[in-house]
Amino acid sequence: MKTYLESSDLKTNEWLRLGREEKKKPQISYDKYQDVLYMYVVPIKKTERILTFYIDRYAGLLFRAEDQEVIGICFEAFCRSFFPAHINKRWSLKDTGVVLNGIRDLNIRIQTAEQPNPAPHYIINGPIDKSVSLEPVFA
């Protein structure tokens, strides 16, 4: 299989600039029909053509077609596969072997919220009346 684009061809100038200047959190969205989680670190315009450079089984770097500028990352099969495989674990860009200019690593940790307390158990003191038996009724 011929590769037309290498990870070294991808640019991270805007990502690095925004990280230094604005310290913004990524914009995160989830497409439930495609089961894809999107994290945009650079604002996008609706008119831009965005392509995906896959870096492992689930993850792909999102980049603009016209200038190969990385604008985010996506995780496919997020609820069906990625989330269960990484629950209470860390996903790391470094573990994929992909090197991006100026980006040392990107870590994502998925943690579940604690489960709410179970329903209370009631203890009944005293006699219990006999139940009335019900027979099924068919119309």
Measured in degrees and rounded to the nearest 5, phi and psi for residue 67 equal: -135, 5
Q: End-to-end distance of the chain based on CA atoms, in angstroms?
A: 66
Residue 19 lies in a domain: yes
Residue 137 lies in a domain: no
Residue 34 lies in a domain: yes
Q: Bigger pLDDT: 98 or 68?
A: 68
Rounded-to-integer distance, Cα 27 and Cα 46, Å: 15
What residues make up the domain containing 35?
7-110
36-46 residue pLDDT tens: 999 998 888 88
CB 15 within 8 A of CB 41: yes
Give the distance, in angstroms, between the CA of residue 126 and the centroid of all CA atoms in the same chain. Answer: 53
- 0.75 exceeded by pTM: no
Residue 117 lies in a domain: no
Residue 119 lies in a domain: no
pLDDT band at 54 (very low <50, low <70, confident <90, very high): very high
pLDDT value at 114 more than 70: no
